[in-house]
């Protein structure tokens, strides 16, 4: 087999009526609950709790730099452990289920680590525990996402993807609301977030039907070579997959800017640490309201018209527009307007992106591993953006920071033009559609 020649193979035709799977009335709530708990655990600290904790430990620019170090290393761990978690869940033969096992493990062990981080007194301790938290919850995320190709019929994936797109806003919104219900900056904020994340994981596994998988001993082997292959799919053999990965990475960089909103409000507008949580919550409420509309509408419209690329292009350009407004915002009111625009873009993008990525996966057998590679494009911006942020902020402040990310959003909108549209996978030049391995 040559590694450099794009291959086009007939798409899979699967008999979904005979596949052992969870009823959609249980599966969709399970997916949403698991993802909401995951985002509560990961995005609430990124959007608020880490800012408060590091500001309490350090002052001013030192806290901003420490935030970049903490979130950057944490995102690197997410990058590593999401595909490893997906690969391990693909090969798991536990009676409890190959996906359920890791959803429960990630949620419960991650909750313990969230409690532990609340007691840290040094930045290095925060770095270590945040890396552990990212690793554990990415095991849960990889297993949850893999349930989509496992159990959702192809013609239902757009709608389900749209509903899952809501969770990226609902999660931190609920998390920030819960955190604000207790004293700002107190360890209790971390504890209640941990409890909610753990309960969400338990509820999800109770709803999902995940029959035991039987794999021969040789196929279950996970040696160093297999681990290395976990992180790589040749984009020359599977160009559609490669372009979809790049699109997700570039446009997700737009949404990664939200992790700096608390610092942005404190440093540009002089908002106090006591008041910033309420404003971040208000921004999240606005974002989730508009995201809810655009996510569901875009997901079902995409299924109806059988087109995905126009929605992704629009989301990338809309997100870039919101970031440019944020870059030059003279007041908090303009920040609200920019956040509204970014919320609409976020919903439209995540409603379509997962369905598009599932459509161009190279192999149905390794769906967990392959989707985890796609999820690297989610995790990598969380590492790249914090590492670049101190340099960009030093050179041009928040104007350069948001402006640079807006450019990446435009590039993502252009890159999606190279991904085949629905129905064009088979026979399209240079396209490798979803195939059996």
Per domain, the residue ranges of the chain are: 24-213+225-418
Q: Which two tokens stand for residue 50?
A: 């880490």
**Which CATH topology does 24-213+225-418 take?**
Growth Hormone; Chain: A; (1.20.1250)
What percent of the chain has pLDDT above 90? 28
Which SS3 state, helix, strand or coil, does residue 270 take? coil
Residue 198 pLDDT exceeds 80? yes
Region for 270 from its dihedrals, namely left if φ exceeds 0, alpha if ψ lies in -120 to 50, beta otherwise: left
Calculate the average pLDDT of the chain: 80
Residue written as token pair 């700096």: 260
Q: Which two tokens stand for residue 103?
A: 């959803």
Q: Among 14-28, 104-118, 267-281, 420-434, whose mean pLDDT is lowest?
A: 420-434
pLDDT at residue 423 is higher than 60: no
Instruction: Give the position of tokens 């995201």.
Output: 291
Whole-angstrom Cα distance, residue 428 to residue 312?
20
Highest-scoring range by mean pLDDT, 9-18, 47-56, 63-72, 99-108? 99-108
> How confident is the model at residue 12, as a pLDDT?
39
The per-residue pLDDT for 428 is: 44
Instruction: Write the burial class of residue 209 (CB in 10 Å: 0-12 exposed, 13-18 middle, 19+ buried).
Output: middle
Q: How far apart are CA 259 and CA 263, in angstroms?
A: 8
Contact 110, 77 (CB under 8 A): no
* pLDDT greater at residue 72 or residue 190: 190
**What is the arithmetic mean of pLDDT over 68-91?**
81
**425 vs 207: which has the higher pLDDT:** 207
Tell me the longest C-alpha to C-alpha distance in the chain. 62
Q: Say if residue 150 is exposed, middle or buried (CB neighbours under 10 Å; 0-12, 13-18, 19+).
A: buried
| Stronger pLDDT, 152 or 4, i.e. the higher one | 152
Q: DSSP per residue over 96-123, as a string?
A: T-TTHHHHHHHHHHHHHHHHHHTT--SH
Asked if 231 contacts 245 with a C-beta cutoff of 8 angstroms, the reply is: no
Asked if 201 and 106 touch (Cβ cutoff 8 Å), the reply is yes
Q: Give Cα 65 distance to the centre of its chain.
A: 23
pLDDT at 319: 93
Q: What is the mean pLDDT of residues 413-426?
A: 75
242 pLDDT more than 60: yes
| DSSP code for 363 | B
Q: What was the pLDDT predicted at 336? A: 95
Q: Is the pLDDT of residue 186 over 70?
A: yes
Mean local confidence (pLDDT), 203-209: 91
At 129 the pLDDT is 96
pLDDT confidence of residue 181: 85
pLDDT category of residue 233 using cuts at 50, 70 and 90: low
Q: Is the pLDDT of residue 184 over 80?
A: no
Phi/psi at 363 (5° precision): -145, 135
pLDDT tens-digit profile of 346-391?
Answer: 888 877 887 787 777 776 555 556 666 777 777 678 778 877 888 8
Q: Give the pLDDT confidence score for residue 318 in this predicted structure.
A: 93
Q: What is the pLDDT of residue 4?
A: 32
pLDDT tens per residue across span 100-118: 899 999 999 999 999 999 9
Confirm if 259 and 49 have CB atoms less than 8 A apart: no
The pLDDT, as a whole number, for residue 61 is 62
Tell me the pLDDT band of 422, cut-offs 50, 70 and 90. low
How much is the pLDDT for 1?
33
| DSSP helix/strand/coil, 397 | helix
pLDDT band, very low/low/confident/very high, at 326 (cuts 50, 70, 90)? very high
CB-count burial class (<10 Å; 0-12, 13-18, 19+) for 273 = middle
- Which two structure tokens, joined as six digits, stand for 356? 């598009």
pLDDT at 275: 84
pLDDT, position 366: 59
**What pLDDT sits at residue 227?**
57
pTM score, whole prediction: 0.69
**What is the spatial distance between Cα 423 and Cα 429, in angstroms, rounded to a whole number?**
13
């Amino acid at each position: 087999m040559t590694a450099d020649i794009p291959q086009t193979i007939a798409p899979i035709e699967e008999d979904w009526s005979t596949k052992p799977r969870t009823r959609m009335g249980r599966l969709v709530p399970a997916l949403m609950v698991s993802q909401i708990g995951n985002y509560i655990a990961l995005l609430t600290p990124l959007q608020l709790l880490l800012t408060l904790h590091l500001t309490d430990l350090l002052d001013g620019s030192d806290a901003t730099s420490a935030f970049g170090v903490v979130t950057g290393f944490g995102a690197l761990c997410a990058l590593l452990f999401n595909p490893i978690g997906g690969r391990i869940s693909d090969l798991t033969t536990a009676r409890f289920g190959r996906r359920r096992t890791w959803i429960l493990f990630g949620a419960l062990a991650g909750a313990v680590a969230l409690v532990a981080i609340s007691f840290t007194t040094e930045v290095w301790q925060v770095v270590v525990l945040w890396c552990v938290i990212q690793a554990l919850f990415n095991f849960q995320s990889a297993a949850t996402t893999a349930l989509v190709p496992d159990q959702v019929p192809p013609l239902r994936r757009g709608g389900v993807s749209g509903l899952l797109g809501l969770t990226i806003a609902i999660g931190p919104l609920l998390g920030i609301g819960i955190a604000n219900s207790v004293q700002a900056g107190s360890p209790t904020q971390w504890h209640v977030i941990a409890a909610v994340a753990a309960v969400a994981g338990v509820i999800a596994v109770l709803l999902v039907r995940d029959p035991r998988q039987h794999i021969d001993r040789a196929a279950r082997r996970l040696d160093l070579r297999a681990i290395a292959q976990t992180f790589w799919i040749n984009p020359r053999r599977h160009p559609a997959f490669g372009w979809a990965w790049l699109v997700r990475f570039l446009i997700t960089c737009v949404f990664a800017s939200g992790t700096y909103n608390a610092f942005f409000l404190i440093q540009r507008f002089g908002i106090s640490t006591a008041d910033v949580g309420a404003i971040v919550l208000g921004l999240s409420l606005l974002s989730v309201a508009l995201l809810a509309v655009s996510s569901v509408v875009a997901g079902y419209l995409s299924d109806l018209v059988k087109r995905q690329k126009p929605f992704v292009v629009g989301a990338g350009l809309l997100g870039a527009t919101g970031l440019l407004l944020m870059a030059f915002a003279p007041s908090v009111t303009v920040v609200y307007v920019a956040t509204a625009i970014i919320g609409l873009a976020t919903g439209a993008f995540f409603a379509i992106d997962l369905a598009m990525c599932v459509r161009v996966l190279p192999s149905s057998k390794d769906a967990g591993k392959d989707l985890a590679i796609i999820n690297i494009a989610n995790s990598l911006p969380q590492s790249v953006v914090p590492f670049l942020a101190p340099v960009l902020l030093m050179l041009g402040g928040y104007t350069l920071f948001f402006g640079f990310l807006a450019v990446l959003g435009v590039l993502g909108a252009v890159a999606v033009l190279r991904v085949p549209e629905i129905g064009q996978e088979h026979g399209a030049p240079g396209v490798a559609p979803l195939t059996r391995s």
